Amino acid sequence: MLEPSNNNELPAIPAKRYFTIGEVSELCAVKPHVLRYWEQEFTELSPVKRRGNRRYYQRHEVLMIRQIRSLLYDQGYTIGGARSHLTSDDAKGDSIRSRQLIHQLVGELEDILDLLK
């Protein structure tokens, strides 16, 4: 998803459920107006909007913003190129994640079965 070298220069993502736009801006080293623009360009980014149109991002959206930042700033993609790269990666990533989840569930079920014996 994100290159390990790029991951080192950005701060660690705290264990929280929601992040404000200011927090995401600091975590991803991107200004808030850029984040608002990326919401228009990348349909996958859709933070929860609460009272007063305040945006609250979830962890997976912060990770996606970091990936978008890497594609645009580090790898030199255009907005359109990054968008198509993300959609092609999503299809591949979903099947990989599904397989990993299935293997994890099978392992947990086997552990439960061992406990029951």
Q: 17-37, pLDDT tens digit by residue?
A: 999 999 999 999 999 999 999
Please state the pTM of the whole predicted model.
0.69
For position 38, which CATH number holds? Answer: 1.10.1660.10
Q: 51-74, pLDDT tens digit by residue?
A: 888 999 999 999 999 999 999 999
DSSP per position, 14-38: PS-S-EEHHHHHHHHT--HHHHHHH
Q: Say how many domains are in the chain.
A: 1
Q: Alpha-carbon distance 33 to 35, whole Å?
A: 5
Residue 13: which domain range? Answer: 4-116
Taking the CA atoms of the chain, what radius of gyration do you get in angstroms? 17
The overall average pLDDT reported for the chain is: 85
